[in-house]
Amino acid sequence: MEGGAQSIMGAYNAINGVPCNANKWLMVDVLRKDWGFNGYVVTDCGAPNLIYSKHKYVKTRPEAAAAVLNAGVAVECGGDDVLRTNFREALKQGLVTEETLDRAITEAMTVRFRLGLFDPPELNPYTKIPVSAIGHRSTSSSRGRYRANRSCFKKRAGE
């Protein structure tokens, strides 16, 4: 985790029959213990739904919600809102514990605090970046893509 990533998105596929977003070995043993990741894991959009509808790894939506939470996921990326609409039922059925929910909430909120989202706007450096800078070719993040695309077009044009 050399770059200091604070969020990692799980994949749609499965490893050895276990969907990545429900894979505790992948999310906890490898990602957190072996690699030292200390941010939060977010599902790919719609992935919790696929755990029961396509992978057939579990039979119900509450089981899918519990599977991803118990595997170390903290946030669901949109889609079918399996976590938001089923975590209470998963808790009621004993499929997930309050401690697991606390862990997920703590991971997601910790990163938000690190980003300064709860600081006054004048103390948050990100509020000083104008909207016009986002995706602009003069910003360092897009400059390389712009130059690469420009040189690619020049090659195609025979320049």
Catalytically annotated residues: 44
Structure tokens at 99: 């401690």
Quick check: 49 and 80 in contact, CB under 8 A? Answer: yes
| Residue at token pair 């000083």 | 128
Q: How far apart are CA 55 and CA 100, in angstroms?
A: 23
Angle between helices 82-92 and 98-114 (to 10 degrees): 150
